[in-house]
Amino acid sequence: MSRQTNQPETQTDWEITPDGLYIATRHFLVRRGYCCANRCRNCPYINWNSDLAWQPVPAEAIRHTRVTPKALAAARAFLAEHEQELERADETSRTYHHEMIKHYRTLTERWK
């Protein structure tokens, strides 16, 4: 008899690196609802690696919660960075910076 679950089998909580380290998946971190400020490789809340291809988690997945002071400070710093970049961005980069500003504002509003 198979056990029914609410999550598809393709959405696992951990990936294993070639070195045997367990890394939390983006799916797991989204379900958790907040950033721990440990610079998780798959963090859906804060782009710790400054990767332009990074996409933030949907706003509805971000809970009102307490986070570490380090996570809140990082969200505020990234918000300020994108606000500064927006002032000197070309037309193609403006949309990206607007989206990131919206994301980091949502984080700072919902996190305490």
Q: Mean pLDDT for each consecutive 10-residue tract of the chain (112 residues)?
A: 44 91 94 92 93 91 92 96 94 91 96 90
Residue 9: per-residue pLDDT: 52
Identity at 60, one-letter amino acid code: E
Q: pTM to 2 decimals?
A: 0.80
Residue 67: per-residue pLDDT: 93
Neighbours of 70 (CB within 10 A): 13
**Residue 81: in which H helix or E strand, if any?**
helix 69-88
